[in-house]
Amino acid sequence: MIDALGSVGSLLLVGGTSDIAVATAHRYLAERPLRVVVAARDTPRRGEVAADLTAAGADVQVVDFDADDPESPARMVAEAAAGGDIDVAVVAFGQLGDADRLRTDSEAVAQIGHVNYVAPAVVGTELANRMREQGHGVIVALSSVAGERVRASNFVYGSTKAGMDAFYSGLADSLAGTGVSVLVVRPGFVKSKMTAHLPDVPLSTTPEAVADAIVTGVRRGGTRCGCPAPCAGS
């Protein structure tokens, strides 16, 4: 359970190999040792992340999660919760996609719509159910500024983030009074492995800066965060 100082005892990273998820775990581990559940596909990167967080002092549990598998969210949350309550869950998976292909390829549109909207909504529902039962917890949803104002250059990606953002904002309202809260984080362009192939842009940020915004937002009980904009709501 989150203590009186806002320190977290357990952390679930859904999409646990993302740079932001890993940076968030390190940010919390700088405060105290904790249990970290890394939920991701079985890849060499998952093993590297688990070893890295273990070396940093985490009690690491690894569980399988595949956004393309409809049965994966319920199974993943059940396995993560079997080891104890989940204080904070970071929903950090998603795809940027190929903007040029997404303009004309309907199958690609369906696929990114599933990974960026349908799967996060199902994961959020499963997490909310579990956290209602335990009576506490914070769900952190990694949205994007691209969902606030959808641009022609990547409108498919932006529209999926807009849908995800709306789902988690509504979920936050529905959880009022349950002891469970939701923090929607909307970073701008993040320099990470997902965007490594893209040219840098002004006002870009880093996974570490987003992690700082997440930890600050959770501690303040915020409901929305930009990066570097301050958190809002309570």
List the catalytic residues. Answer: 157
The sign of the torsion formed by the CA atoms of 82, 42, 60, 205 equals negative
Q: Angle, nearest 10°, between helix axes 19-29 and 44-55?
A: 10
| Closest residue by Cα to residue 173 from 213, 217, 226, 224 | 224
How much helix, strand and coil, in percent to the nearest 5, is found in the chain? 45, 20, 35
13 Cβ contact partners less than 8 Å away, ≥ 6 residues apart: 21, 22, 24, 25, 36, 37, 38, 39, 40, 90, 92
For residue 134 the two structure tokens come to 């335990």
- Which backbone phi and psi does 87 adopt, to 5 degrees? -75, -50
As a whole number of angstroms, the distance between CA 119 and CA 127 comes to 12
- Which backbone phi and psi does 48 adopt, to 5 degrees? -65, -40
Secondary structure class of 231 (helix, strand, coil): coil
Helix ranges restricted to H, the chain: 19-29, 44-55, 72-81, 99-102, 106-113, 119-134, 155-174, 207-220
